[in-house]
Amino acid sequence: MKKFLQEFKEFAITGNMVDLAIGMIIGGAFTTIVKSLVDNLCMPIISLLTGGIDFSNLFIALDGNHYKTVEEAGEVALIKYGSFITDVISFLLLSLVVFIVVKNVNKLREAKKAKEPVVEEAPTEKECPYCFTKININATRCPHCTSKLD
CATH of the domain at 65: 1.10.1200.120
Under the banding of pLDDT at 50, 70 and 90, the label for residue 15 is low
Q: What angle do CA 109, 33, 112 make, to 5 degrees?
A: 5
Element (H, E) at 112: helix 81-115
**Residue 110, domain extent:** 2-119
Overall residue count recorded for the chain in this entry: 150
Whether residues 29 and 85 fall in one domain: yes
Report whether 94 contacts 42 (CB < 8 A).
no
Question: Based on the structure, what is the number of domains in the chain?
Answer: 2
CB atoms closer than 10 angstroms to residue 75:
6
Query: Quick one: 46 and 96 in the same domain?
Result: yes
Give tens-digit pLDDT for 31-84: 888 788 877 888 788 878 888 777 878 899 999 888 888 888 888 899 999 889
Q: How far is it, in rounded angstroms, from Cα 15 to Cα 26?
A: 16
Strands 78-79, 125-127: pairing kind = unpaired
